[in-house]
Amino acid sequence: MINIHDIMETINMISEENLDIRTITMGISLLDCCDSDPEKACEKIYKKITRLARNLVKTGEDIEKEFGIPIINKRISVTPIAMIVASSGGDPVMYAKTLQKAADATGVNFIGGFSALVHKGFSAGDEALIRAIPRALSETTNVCSSVNIGSTKAGINMDAVKLMGQIVRETAEITADRECIGCAKLVVFCNAVEDNPFMAGAFHGVGEPDCVIHVGVSGPGVVQAAIKKHPEATLGELAEIIKRTAFKITRMGQLVGNEASKRLGVPFGIVDLSLAPTPAVGDSVAHILEEMGLDCCGIHGTTAALAMLNDAVKKGGVMASSYVGGLSGAFIPVTEDAGMIAAARSGDLSLEKLEAMTAVCSVGLDMIAIPGETPAEVISAIIADEAAIGMVNSKTTAVRVIPAIGKQKGEELDFGGLLGSGPIMDVNLNKLPTKFIDRAGRIPAPLQSLKN
Amino acid sequence: MKTVVSVIGKDAVGIIAKVSNICSDCNANILDITQSVLQDMFVMVMLTEIKDLNCTFVEFSDKMKNLGKENNLDIRVMHEDVFNSMHRI
């Protein structure tokens, strides 16, 4: 029989340390839903999603009950809608509303893929979709949007960066009466991945199968608790402890992924080895860093601690899963992490430090409320800086900032639920990057891209 | 399919009897049983075979959960694979 201590450890992880499967995400290709009539295309999209995902939520709940592991979210990602708009035409918002309808029918809490991939330039459908993002996010509640504006192979599309600065602002303005929530569902990527199960940036890439199941694990509380038991350990020993913990967490993800794939009759895609925090106490990445010995997340030493944590999580997780993919790294979304919120409130965590942290972990400047007066070109410049880090380091980076319309530094935004709440952080608005952003064009791919 | 029934809480008379009763009512076969005191807590772990269950798994699990609530114990029923996959390579 299994060792009683092992059983207790697992139960303790679930009941005391918030171990859970963060998401089961079903990726669905919509390429076969194109039609010369956009309304017919929408009908096909609705039918395909509701046919393939009709049992997704129930299967998730069944597994949750049988295995005793909480599965927090059941979600869907679809082919970037810009591709469907390109061939089927029509108002992109109509497609967003179709996705919303499908989300309501299947009971998932988010559906991602109102997306465009424009890292080298705009093709048919891309610009129309991007310009429709503010309306689409305002008129739906569970649809998520993402735009890929750069990659290591292609460089950075600065035309798209400039446009996205304006779109982020517009999205905030149009949802200003709802805490600017539209921006919490909009991610601007560099090196976006095709099999990401996490929102708001999930979409179903063109290289993926027709339908696939991805799993995102979590467990910052488990890692924190493991570190807490070893106050005297050296950093090398700590890395070992984190690796062992990450292995166990990931095994859980692999088990749930296999089971969901078997029950739904859909191939298993990947496990995303991410430490995804929630605003709940005991589920914070910032608190892991503090447990490692920092007085507060955001002070000097944070980047080094995060780099080690991120690396150890991957090393531990990689052997535990047959297929690792997605974003795989520690997330640092400010409003979704109790420790980050506290550090931002106390002023110990700045936007500049967060930018440095994104160079060593997944994924980017995430869920950061910025002053409502921040002009579009500054948002574009924030996007460009972040994309440059991703492009040069061959990693995914992203920007999900929320201009808090009508509010200033020190005030707070409160989205509720998993999206959390947080203070509006300081942005340098004394001098502007207007000329640089207005130059537009394309930043060429770096030398790192020439690997052949 | 095998499940692990775990009972955690303050020690009291008749815990094992009550849990075993539910197993017998639901036609779950007890394969192994072990108990100890960990960090001042009574811990009992029972391995059961539930392939011949006369009710659904959820009903079985809910009965255990309710028993736990009535007696101020934390009773969980979890698939054996959870522990195998987490603790064995």
Distances (CA, A) of A36 to A31, A80, A409, A417: 13, 18, 49, 40
Residue A178 has pLDDT above 80, yes or no: yes
Could you tell me the two tokens for B63?
A: 């009965």
Q: Taking a C-beta distance cutoff of 8 angstroms, is the pair A336, A279 a contact?
A: yes
Query: Which residues on chain A place their C-beta less than 8 Å from a C-beta of chain B?
Result: 1-11, 15, 65-69, 248, 251-252, 254-255
Among the partner-chain residues B31, B36, B85, the one whose CB lies closest to the CB of A4 is: B36
Counting Cα atoms < 13 Å in the Cβ hemisphere of A202 gives 31
For residue A80, what is the DSSP state? -
The Cα A42–Cα A45 span in angstroms is 5
Q: Residue A60's closest CA among A108, A19, A11?
A: A108
Could you tell me the two tokens for B60?
A: 């079985």
Is the omega angle on the peptide bond into residue A200 within 30 degrees of 0, that is, cis? yes
A211 in a domain, yes or no? no
Label the pairing between strands A442-443 and A186-190.
Answer: unpaired
Q: What values do phi and psi take at A433, rounded to 5?
A: -95, 25
Instruction: State pLDDT tens for residues A440-452.
Output: 999 999 998 998 8
A146 and A233 housed in the same domain: no
Q: Can you give the pLDDT at residue A1?
A: 62
Segments forming the whole domain that contains residue A48 = 27-190
Instruction: State pLDDT tens for residues A355-382.
Output: 999 999 988 999 999 999 999 999 999 9
Number of structural domains found in chain A:
2
Q: Which of residues 31-70 of B touch A (CB under 8 A)?
A: 31-32, 34, 36, 38, 43, 45, 47, 57-58, 61
The Cα A204–Cα B81 span in angstroms is 30
Helix (H, G, I), strand (E, B) or coil at A132: helix
Chain A environment of B34 (Cβ under 8 Å): 1, 4
A229 and A174 housed in the same domain: no
A307 and A402 housed in the same domain: yes
Q: Measured in whole angstroms, how far is the alpha carbon of residue A211 from the centre of its chain?
A: 20
CATH number of the structural domain spanning residue A237: 3.20.70.20
A127 in a domain, yes or no? yes
Mean of pLDDT values over A422-450: 94
Residue B40 burial (CB count, 10 A):
7
Could you tell me the two tokens for B58?
A: 């959820």
Label the pairing between strands A110-117 and A155-157.
Answer: unpaired
Counting Cα atoms < 13 Å in the Cβ hemisphere of A370 gives 28
Last residue of a domain, one of A175, A190, A205: A190
Instruction: State pLDDT tens for residues A310-359.
Output: 999 999 999 888 898 888 888 999 999 999 999 999 999 999 999 999 99
Q: Taking a C-beta distance cutoff of 8 angstroms, is the pair A92, A38 a contact?
A: no
A374 and A245 housed in the same domain: yes
Chain B environment of A255 (Cβ under 8 Å): 81-82, 85
Q: What is the mean pLDDT of chain B?
A: 89
A42 in a domain, yes or no? yes
A92 and A162 housed in the same domain: yes
The Cα A244–Cα A223 span in angstroms is 9
Helix ranges restricted to H, A68-187:
81-88, 92-106, 126-139, 158-174
φ/ψ region of A416 (left if φ > 0, alpha if ψ in -120 to 50, else beta) reads: left
Q: What values do phi and psi take at A446, rounded to 5?
A: -75, 170
Segments forming the whole domain that contains residue B41 = 2-87
What value of ipTM does the predicted structure carry? 0.86
Last residue of a domain, one of A190, A224, A250: A190
Instruction: State pLDDT tens for residues A406-419.
Output: 999 889 999 888 88
The Cα A311–Cα A330 span in angstroms is 9
Residue in chain B nearest A256 by alpha carbon: B82
b or e along A84-114 (b: 16 or more beta carbons within 10 Å of the residue's beta carbon)?
A: bbbebbbebbbbbbbbbbbbeebebbbbbbb
The Cα A359–Cα A136 span in angstroms is 31
A157 and A53 housed in the same domain: yes
Distances (CA, A) of A86 to A38, A123, A203, A205, B6: 10, 8, 17, 16, 55
Q: Taking a C-beta distance cutoff of 8 angstroms, is the pair A41, A91 a contact?
A: no
A298 and A444 housed in the same domain: yes
The Cα A393–Cα A380 span in angstroms is 20
CATH number of the structural domain spanning residue B56: 3.30.70.260
Residue A402 has pLDDT above 80, yes or no: yes
Chain B environment of A6 (Cβ under 8 Å): 83, 86-87
Chain B environment of A1 (Cβ under 8 Å): 31-32, 34, 45, 47
Residue B32 burial (CB count, 10 A):
12
Distances (CA, A) of A92 to A51, A106, A126: 22, 21, 10
Contact B83 A10 (CB under 8 A): yes
Could you tell me the two tokens for A268?
A: 């298993």
Mean of pLDDT values over A385-389: 97
Instruction: State pLDDT tens for residues A235-280.
Output: 999 999 999 999 999 998 999 999 999 999 999 999 998 888 988 8
Percentage of the residues of chain A whose pLDDT score is greater than 70: 100
Mean of pLDDT values over A425-451: 94
Q: What is the mean pLDDT of chain A?
A: 93
B72 contacts chain A (CB < 8 A): no
Number of structural domains found in chain B:
1
Where does the pLDDT of residue B14 fall: very low under 50, low under 70, confident under 90, or very high at 90 and above? confident
